[in-house]
Structure 1
Amino acid sequence: MLKKFSKAKLFNTLSNRSFFKFWLGQSVSVFGSSMYQAALPFLVFYINGGAAELSLANTFYIAPQIIVLLFGGVFTDRWNRKYTLVISDLIKSGVVFTICLLLFFDQLNVLHIYALTASLGMVSTFSRPTTRGIIPQLVEKRQLVNANSLRAISRQVSQMLAPVVGGFLITAVGLFIVFGITTFTFFFSALFLSTIHLYKKINESSEKESKRQSYWKDLLEGFKTVQTTNWLLIGIVVSSIINIFIASFDVIALPIYIKDTFSSSGISGAEAYGFTLSSMAIGALLSAFWMGRQEKLPPRGILYYSLIGATGLSILFLALTSSLLITLFFTTIIGFLMTTFIIVWESLLQDLVDNEKLGRITSLDMFGGLVLLPVGYWIFGLLIETTNVSKVIQITGLGIIIMSILPLLFKSIRDLK
C-alpha cells in the first residue's frame, strides 16, 4: 500500500523549495484566517453583541470583496505577486494585532470590529487572486493539478483544526491569547513567502505594455478576455447561478434541515451539524489526496460539469433520507465532489488563461461567485419559511443538476481538453 502511495507522487511538487515555502506560508495563513473566523462570534459576544451584530460583522467582511473584486485583479496582475502576498499577510497581522491592543486596554467596541473585519475582507480580495495566479510561476504545467490538490489538503486541514484549536484556547486562556496567536500566524506566513523565488516571470514585453496602459484599459481587457473566450464566459455565468444553489444549501438549508430532522434522535442539532461539517471536510480531504495523484484528466469541460451535476444529485438524495448515517454518507460525497470540481476549475484557469491576465480573470470569477449570493440567501430563506426545508434542498439539488447540463450543450465546453 505504501509503495503504491509513493508511486502516486502526491508530494513530489513539495520538492520544489519555493513551492514548498509558498505552500507552508499559505497553510499557516489559512489557519490564521480560519481561527479568526472561529473566534469572531466570541469577540462579538465579548462586547455584549448578539446575532444582529454578528451578521453585520460577516456582511462587512464580504461587502468590500464584492466591490473591490471588480478592479482588484488589475492590481494583482500589475504588481509583483510575491510582494503582494507578503504585504497582504503583514497587513492582516497588523489588523489582528490592533484587536489585541484594543482587548488589552479594554477599548474594543462594535465599530472597531466592523472596521477591522472589513479591512481583512478587503486585503483578502487582493491575496486570493494572487494566490491562484502565482502557482503557474512556481511549478510546471503538468504539476498544476498536484499543486492545487496540495493547497486543498492544507486548506481543509487548517479549516478543520483551527475552529477546534480556537474554541479550546478561547475557553482555556481567553480571546487575547487567541488573537495574539493569529497575529503571529500571518506574520510567519509573510516570512515564509518573502523567501520564495518566482522561477517563471511574467512576459517582460507584456509587463511593460501593461504598465503603459491605464488601469481602466487593463480592467476592460479582462472583461474582453472573458467575453471573447466562450468556455470562460459560460463557466463564470453558469457558476454564478450554481453557486446560489450550492451556497444556499450549505449555509442556510443544511443546518436547518439537520436541526429539524435529528434534534429529537438522541443528539443535539448542533452535534449533528458538527458531524455533517466534519464529514464534508473528510470528503474534501479524500478528494485532495486523490486528485493529487492524477497526472492526466479526462476532457476537463465534461469532467467539471459532470462533477457539479453529481453534487446536485447527491444533494437531492440527501433530502430524501431521515437517517443520520446515510446523511453523513452523502455529505462526505458532497465534500469530495465539491473539492474535486474546484481543483479542476482552478487548474483549468491556470493552464489556459495567460498568466499576465490571471489575476483579473480570477477576480471576475470570484466576483461572479459572490455577487448573487445575497439575493440567493433571501430567496431560499423565504422559500424555507413558506414551504419546508426538505423541499428547498430538493430544489437546490435539481437546480444544480439542470445548470450543470446546460453548458454541455456547447461544443467549446465539450472540447476542453
Structure 2
Amino acid sequence: MFEKFFEIIEKKLQQLKDQQLYRSIIDMETAEGMKITIKGRSYINFASNDYLGLSKHPLVKKSAQKAIELFGAGSGAARLLSGGTLIHKELEKLICKFKDSEASLVLNSGYTANSCLIPAIADEDDLILSDELNHASIIDGCRLSRAKKLIYRHKDLQHLIRLIKDTPCNGKKIIITDTVFSMDGDIAPIREIYELCKSEEALLYIDDAHGTGILGEGHGTLKHFGLSADNFVIQMGTLSKAVGCFGAFVCGTDILINWFINSARGFIFSTALPSSVVASSYASLKIIMEDKTLIKKLWENTQRVMNTIKTLKLSTTDTQTPIIPILFENIEDAMRASNILNNSGIYAPVIKPPTVRTPRIRISISAGHTEEDIERLNKALINLYQQPHQA
C-alpha cells in the first residue's frame, strides 16, 4: 500500500522535472550586504525582498542581540500564555503610530496572518470579492472562510463594481486585495476601491506586504494615496520584506484587534515570535520612520534599472515599484536568460508556473545595492539583450 503511494508521488515529481517545473531548495553559504555565496560562487542578490537593506543594519542587529541577552533565543509559548514580552507590546504601539491605526497585533508571518484573519472576519452569510492575482495566502484564507467568494479580474474596477452591486448578500461585503502585487510589481487602484467600500458599506482588507516600507514615504499604500485608516479598513503587513526582519501585523480598530486575539487560530495556537525578532523589527521601523535616505536610494536604484529596461525594450509588466519582472514566452528562454545573468554574477532565478502564468525573472531592487551593483546588473541586462533568444 505504502509502496504504491510513493510510486505515485515519484511519477508526479518526474512529471514536474519533465515540464521544467520542479523546485529545489538553494541555500546561501555567506551573505554580506547584497553579496551572497551559493555553491562557492559569489553573486549580487537581486532576488530578495529586503528592499531597504535593513536586515544587515547595525542598529537592527544590535537590537536583536540585546533582546536575546534579556529573554533568550526563543519565546517558549504562545502569546496568550507566556510567550510575549514588553517588547511585543512596544512594537504594536509603534506599528499603530506607523500606520496611523487605533490598534495592532503582531503575528508570525504574512501567510499565517491572511490564512487566519480572513476566516475570522468572514461568516457564511458574507461575500468576499478578491483580486484574481492576490497572493496564495489570501486565496487560502478565503477558502478557509465560510463566506461566498467571487474573483474579480485583476485591477478591473468595472468588473468589481458589477459584482458587488449585482450579487445578493445577506451579511457584510469584504473586498480583499494586495496593494503591490509581488510577481508583477503593479499597484492596486486602492483609492477607487476605498471609495467603493465607503459607498457600498463594505470592509476593505488590504495586504500591504510589499507596500510597507517603500510607498507613502515608507508608511505604506494608504499614505501613498492620501487615504486615512478609517474603521472599515483592515491593514495587514509584513515585517519580513522592507522592514528586513520577520513576522507580520494587522491594524484596525480596538474591537477588531480584540476579536482577532480571541478568534484568529493562527495567533491563538502559534508560539509567539522570539523577542529578538520583535526587537529588530522595532529598530527597523524606527529607522524607516525617521530616516528617508534609504527609501530615496531605493527609488533612485529602481529608476536606473528601469531606464535600462525601457531602453532595451525588454518585455516587462506595468510595474510601478522596485519589483521588475522580465517576461519570457517559455520556461526554456527564461532559464537561458537566468543562466546568462548568473554568469555575470547576478542572482535572479526564474519564477515558473503555477506561481505565475508567464515565466519570468523577477528582479528585486534594494537600497542595499551599491552603484556598482546596479551598473553590473545593467551591463548584464545589455548582455542578455544581445544574446540569441532575447527577452
Per the normalisation by structure 2, the TM-score is 0.29
Structure (1/2) with the larger helix percentage? 1
Higher RCO (Cα < 8 Å, 6 or more apart):
1
Structure (1/2) with the larger strand percentage? 2
